[in-house]
């Protein structure tokens, strides 16, 4: 049976308590005959980048609270900065640039190298840029 991952987002200001919302998730899981893996259940609380000493206690004691998480290929940080994601993308691109270097050494023509570069490097940056590009600092853009 394939594993399915669900993400629950709860706004900061809500009429529903976080613990109550999680209780609703557990009921939904039970009704739909699914299993909730508490070892893989994590929580992240987002705050504004300049929020001073923001700390949200875990909603349930047994759930690990993270500072960043990867969702649909994008690394989200609790402070809404993109440092971790930019480093991750740059690391991937560096590895792929090395692959291009090896392909060039093996005699691949420049036109083909260009196609490969667009396919494995440029597309990696541009395909989801509209989703997280607004969170980039000038320093990130320059990198």
pLDDT digits (tens, 9 = 90+) for 17-45: 777 888 888 898 899 998 888 888 888 87
Least confident of 22-26, 49-53, 103-107: 49-53
**Distance of alpha carbon 11 from alpha carbon 16, whole angstroms:** 10
**Distance of alpha carbon 35 from alpha carbon 29, whole angstroms:** 6
| Position 53 pLDDT exceeds 60 | no
Paired with 65 in beta bridges are 43
| Position 4 pLDDT exceeds 80 | no
What is the per-residue pLDDT for 116? Answer: 94
φ, ψ of residue 76 in degrees (nearest 5): -100, 135
Q: What does DSSP say about strands 68-71 and 74-77: parallel, antiparallel, or unpaired?
A: antiparallel
**Distance of alpha carbon 34 from alpha carbon 110, whole angstroms:** 51
| Position 52 pLDDT exceeds 70 | no
């Amino acid at each position: 049976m394939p594993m399915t991952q669900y993400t629950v987002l709860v706004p900061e200001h809500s009429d529903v308590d976080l613990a109550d919302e999680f209780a609703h998730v557990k009921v939904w899981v039970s009704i739909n005959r699914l299993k909730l893996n508490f070892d893989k259940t994590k929580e992240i609380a987002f705050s504004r980048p300049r929020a001073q000493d923001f700390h949200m206690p875990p909603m349930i004691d047994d759930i690990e609270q993270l500072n960043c998480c990867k969702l649909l290929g994008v690394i989200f940080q609790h402070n809404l900065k993109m440092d971790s994601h930019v480093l991750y993308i740059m690391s991937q691109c560096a590895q792929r640039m090395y692959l291009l270097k090896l392909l060039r050494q093996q005699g691949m023509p420049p036109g083909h190298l260009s196609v490969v570069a667009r396919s494995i490097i440029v597309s990696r940056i541009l395909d989801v840029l509209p989703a997280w590009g607004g969170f980039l600092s000038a320093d990130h853009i320059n990198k």
